[in-house]
């Protein structure tokens, strides 16, 4: 286990009937609120009214910034930044899934600078301070509600970049599992896949040979994500399983899973970002298509690690290490299929002729993330395995 610093300042309010607390939590940080949300589903399920009334009951002056899309766009974040500046907002409240929270983080960072917020994503500028952020989570997936990361798509350049900074942790996040009961089956599955992917990235890219605490934690989170996803797809109103899935997704990327692992990488996400930048596919769907190809290649080089995962997560104990490793990859692909996720690029209508373009696009992010061992040729070889 490597040396590490773990510091997560986000306050979590978890459970039923916690959402009306958003007004008081936000008002502690400021009174002029930019209220960020998505395409409008929160207006149909009553969440919009609950949040707005809670904010107004605390004397908050609310400016709305709706319309955040899945794979949030830089241009829309620019509009939110302009609103925050125009109305002199001193706090941001985001209600939605990871896309909404990510764009809200970009607005929080961009509202306090004169340069383009995209410079944070390209490494040309560093965040010094941001507007404080509170969130109400509506989808179990990205973990953005309790981490320091954000992802945006530059719609002018077709680049989808992620960036992390210690200032980007939300101050308070409210997680009420009941609001996820209305999430459609496909996005429920994509969210669970995103959580599993966060675990897989760290689990298979660490070079440390002895990480028993993190291994068991990550294996357990992967099992929970899959089992709870299966359960809520069968019974969407199962509160306990919704709660477990929601907390699993948060824990998968809040800093605990990678603590002590040393240098790790996120190659699956790096490659997927190019897919959703070009084709605007759901992030979890893109991951389900990329993960099998990446794992098929790397299980050959890491049979010990992959066989351990197969044994502990899927109870596969027959055959050699190499055979168990391969069976574990197949078992994960079978689960993707079970929850109706695409497992190939072909299923996403992405053709082989597009692979060089996708790989070339991924190179900029690989450079920014310092993933020097991922050349264009290597990314192409992975993508070919994903067809």
Domain boundary among 178, 210, 231: 178
What pLDDT does 354 receive? 94
Which residues face 214 on adjacent strands?
Answer: none
Tell which phi-psi region holds residue 71, choosing left (phi > 0), alpha (psi between -120 and 50) or beta: left
Residues 180 and 173: beta-carbon distance below 8 Å: no
* Range(s) of the domain holding residue 233: 184-385
| Residue 83 banded pLDDT, cuts 50, 70, 90 | very high
Query: Taking all residues of the chain, what is their mean pLDDT, rounded to a whole number?
Result: 96
Pairing type for strands 149-154 and 159-164 reads antiparallel
79 & 225 share domain: no
What pLDDT does 270 receive? 94
Domain boundary among 119, 147, 178: 178
d(CA 149, CA 295): 25
Instruction: Classify residue 4: in a domain, yes or no.
Output: no
Q: Where are the alpha helices (DSSP H) in the chain?
A: 22-27, 41-44, 47-57, 74-86, 98-110, 118-121, 185-205, 212-234, 239-251, 267-279, 283-301, 303-314, 321-338, 355-368, 376-385
Within 10 Å of residue 8's Cβ, how many Cβ atoms?
14
Mean pLDDT for 296-318 is: 95
73 & 219 share domain: no
- Please check the confidence at residue 40 and state whether its pLDDT lies above 80: no
- Please check the confidence at residue 88 and state whether its pLDDT lies above 80: yes
Domain boundary among 178, 213, 230: 178
pLDDT digits (tens, 9 = 90+) for 223-270: 999 999 999 999 999 999 999 999 999 999 999 999 999 999 999 999
What pLDDT does 44 receive? 87
Instruction: Classify residue 111: in a domain, yes or no.
Output: yes
Greatest Cα-to-Cα distance within the chain, rounded to the nearest angstrom: 65
Mean pLDDT for 196-201 is: 96
d(CA 238, CA 224): 15
Mean pLDDT for 102-113 is: 97
160 & 278 share domain: no
- Please check the confidence at residue 147 and state whether its pLDDT lies above 90: yes
What pLDDT does 74 receive? 97
102 & 206 share domain: no
Task: Please state the domain count of the chain.
Answer: 2
59 & 102 share domain: yes
d(CA 276, CA 159): 9
pLDDT digits (tens, 9 = 90+) for 3-34: 999 999 999 999 999 999 999 999 999 999 99
| Residue 334 banded pLDDT, cuts 50, 70, 90 | very high
Within 10 Å of residue 297's Cβ, how many Cβ atoms?
15
Mean pLDDT for 181-192 is: 96
What pLDDT does 41 receive? 85
158 & 201 share domain: no
What pLDDT does 239 receive? 97
pLDDT digits (tens, 9 = 90+) for 351-381: 999 999 999 999 999 999 999 899 999 999 9
């Amino acid at each position: 286990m490597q040396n590490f610093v773990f510091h997560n300042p986000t306050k979590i309010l978890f459970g039923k009937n916690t959402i009306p607390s958003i007004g008081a939590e936000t008002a502690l940080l400021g009174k002029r609120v930019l209220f960020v949300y998505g395409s409008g589903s929160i207006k149909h399920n009553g969440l919009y009214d609950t949040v707005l009334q809670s904010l107004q009951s605390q004397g908050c002056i609310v400016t709305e910034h709706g319309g955040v899309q899945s794979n949030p766009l830089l241009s829309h974040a620019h509009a939110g930044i302009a609103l925050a500046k125009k109305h002199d907002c001193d706090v941001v409240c985001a209600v939605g899934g990871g896309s909404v929270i990510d764009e809200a983080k970009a607005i929080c960072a961009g509202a306090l600078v004169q340069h383009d917020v995209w410079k944070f994503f390209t490494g040309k500028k560093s965040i010094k301070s941001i507007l404080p952020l509170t969130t109400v989570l509506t989808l179990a997936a990205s973990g953005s509600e309790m981490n320091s990361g954000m992802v945006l798509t530059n719609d002018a350049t077709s680049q989808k970049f992620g960036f992390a900074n210690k200032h980007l942790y939300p101050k308070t996040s409210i997680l009420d599992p009941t609001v996820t009961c209305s999430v459609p089956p496909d996005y429920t599955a994509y969210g669970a896949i995103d959580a599993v992917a966060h675990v897989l990235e760290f689990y298979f890219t660490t070079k440390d040979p002895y990480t028993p605490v993190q291994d068991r934690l990550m294996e357990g989170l992967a099992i929970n994500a899959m089992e709870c996803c299966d359960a809520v797809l069968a019974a969407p109103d199962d509160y306990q399983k919704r709660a477990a899935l929601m907390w699993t997704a948060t824990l998968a990327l809040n800093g605990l899973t990678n603590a002590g692992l040393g240098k790790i990488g996120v190659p699956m996400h790096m490659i997927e970002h190019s897919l959703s930048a070009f084709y605007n596919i759901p992030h979890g769907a893109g991951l389900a298509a990329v993960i099998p190809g990446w794992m098929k290649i790397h299980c050959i080089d890491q049979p010990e690690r992959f066989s351990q995962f197969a044994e502990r997560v899927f109870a596969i104990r027959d055959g050699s290490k190499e055979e168990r490793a391969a069976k574990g990859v197949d078992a994960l692909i079978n689960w993707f299929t079970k929850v109706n996720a695409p497992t190939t690029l072909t299923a996403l209508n992405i053709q082989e002729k597009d692979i060089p373009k996708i790989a070339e696009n991924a190179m900029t992010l690989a450079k920014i993330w310092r993933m020097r061992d991922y050349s264009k040729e290597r990314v192409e070889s992975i993508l070919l395995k994903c067809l």
